[in-house]
Amino acid sequence: MATKIKGTKPKKVSVHQQKHDAFTREFIFNPLTTHKYAIKKHAKKTSTVTTADIKMYEQAELRHSSNGIMLHPEFLVFYIGLKEGCAKKLLLYILFHVADLHSSKFPFNEHIIKEFNNYCKRIDGKTAYKPDVVKQAIRDLVNANLCISVQRQEYMLNPLIVSASRREQWSLINAYTLELMKKNKDVDAHFFPKYVV
């Protein structure tokens, strides 16, 4: 991939942009992703070239996502309360790649564990978690009130943190609290973030 410069030969794109382009491809072309992400392209100025008192700009094509997911403010409280490591990475992977935000449900099985590990390796180049560590991470997410198990190998995200739209959030809150009641859980104790103060 090359950068166009008016009147000169194309220049190679930076390592940073190459890494960002690879990251955006993870979202756009990932068959596991339940959300449909789109990519936007813009010309961006990268530097200036001055020749014979004429200033010209080098330009590169910037690719970025044009859509995403709607995280609600409560997400911050939940996220900050999680310990660093596998659980935080797993939560973000589920949010952006696995969960159906219209139902807040997501599968969790050996295939998802394998894909999560492959994703971690592609993103940071080194992380790989043993299956037992990833299974503990999902339990950590349940204990932090971020999701609940609704049936074997299927979970539901707490709609306080994310939803496809504000309108859908209300029906998801009702569905989530019904799932908690089916399990004879205290709704308030298992629905809200676990505030330390």
For 130-150, write each residue's pLDDT tens digit. Answer: 999 999 999 999 999 999 999
**Which carries the bigger pLDDT value, residue 140 or residue 52?**
140
Give the rounded percent of residues in the chain with a pLDDT score beyond 90. Answer: 42
Q: What is the pLDDT, as a whole number, of residue 80? A: 87
Residue 91 falls within a domain, yes or no? Answer: yes
pTM (2 decimals)? Answer: 0.74
Question: Rounded to whole angstroms, how far apart are CA atoms 175 and 156?
Answer: 10
52 and 80, same domain (yes or no):
no
Average pLDDT, the chain: 80
Q: What is the pLDDT, as a whole number, of residue 10? A: 45
Q: What is the pLDDT, as a whole number, of residue 4? A: 44
58 and 105, same domain (yes or no):
no
Q: What is the pLDDT, as a whole number, of residue 41? A: 65
74-100 pLDDT tens trace = 898 888 888 889 999 999 999 988 999
Sort residue 184 into left (φ over 0), alpha (ψ -120 to 50) or beta. left
Q: What angle do CA 126, 66, 22 make, to 5 degrees?
A: 25
Question: Rounded to whole angstroms, how far apart are CA atoms 1 and 17?
Answer: 10
Question: In terms of Cα–Cα distance, which of 142, 135, 109, 146 is closest to 32?
Answer: 109
Domain of 81, in residue numbers: 70-191
Q: What is the pLDDT, as a whole number, of residue 140? A: 95
**What ranges in the chain are assigned the alpha helix state H?**
15-28, 74-81, 86-93, 110-124, 131-143, 166-182, 187-191
Residue 117 falls within a domain, yes or no? Answer: yes
- Give how many domains the chain has, as a whole number: 2
Q: Which 3 state secondary structure label does DSSP give 54?
A: strand
Confidence of residue 1 (pLDDT cuts 50, 70, 90): very low
Q: What is the pLDDT, as a whole number, of residue 82? A: 86
Domain boundary among 26, 48, 65: 65
Question: In terms of Cα–Cα distance, which of 104, 84, 80, 81 is closest to 94?
Answer: 104
Question: Rounded to whole angstroms, how far apart are CA atoms 45 and 28?
Answer: 24
Residue 173 falls within a domain, yes or no? Answer: yes
Q: What is the pLDDT, as a whole number, of residue 8? A: 45
Instruction: Tell me the helix, strand and coil percentages in the chain, rounded to 5.
Output: 45, 25, 35
**Which carries the bigger pLDDT value, residue 37 or residue 174?**
174
Pair type for strands 39-51 and 147-151 = unpaired
Domain boundary among 37, 65, 93: 65
